[in-house]
Structure 1
Amino acid sequence: MTVPDYEQTLTEPLVTDALIEQRVTALVGRAARHQLWFLFLDQHEVQLPLVLPFSDPPAQPDASLLTLASIVELAVEAENASAVIVVVERYADATFTTADKLWARGIVTALGEREVAVRAVLLSHRRGVRWFAQDDYGLAETSV
Structure 2
Amino acid sequence: MTRIDADEAAHLPITTDHDVEERVAGLLQHAVRRQWWTLYLDADDVQMPLIMPMAGYPDRPDEPGGDEGTAAQLLADRLSVIVREVGAAKVVFVWERPGRAETTPADREWAGALAAACRAEGVVVRAQLILHDRGVRWLAPDDYA
TM-score, scaled relative to structure 2:
0.90
Corresponding position: 1:71 with 2:54: no
Q: Deviations over 1:46-87 (max 9, x none)?
A: 000011111022222122222211221111001111100011
State how far apart, in whole Å, the 1-side matches of 2:95 and 2:39 are: 12
Given that residues 101 and 134 in structure 2 are in contact (C-alpha distance below 8 angstroms), is that contact kept between their aligned partners in structure 1? Answer: yes
Q: CA deviation at 1:96?
A: 0.7
The CA RMSD measured in Å over matched residues stands at: 1.3
Q: Matches of residues 1-144 of structure 1 in structure 2 within 5 Å?
A: 1=1, 4-61=4-61, 62=63, 63-138=70-145
Q: CA deviation at 1:28?
A: 1.8
Task: Give structure 1 stretches of 5+ with no counterpart.
Answer: 139-144
Aligned residue-pair number = 138
Match of 1:142 in 2: none
Q: Deviations over 1:12-37 (max 9, x none)?
A: 10001111001101112211111111
State how far apart, in whole Å, the 1-side matches of 2:57 and 2:44 are: 31
State how far apart, in whole Å, the 1-side matches of 2:2 and 2:54 are: 23
**More deviation, 62-71/126-135:** 62-71
State how far apart, in whole Å, the 1-side matches of 2:121 and 2:3 are: 31
Q: What secondary structure is seen at the aligned counterpart in 1 of 2:123?
A: coil
Sort the Cα spacing of 1:64 and 1:3 in 2 relative to 1 into closer, same or farther, 3 A.
Answer: farther
Displaced runs of 4+ in structure 1, greater than 6 A? none
Amino acid at match of 1:30: H
State how far apart, in whole Å, the 2-side matches of 1:95 and 1:49 are: 30
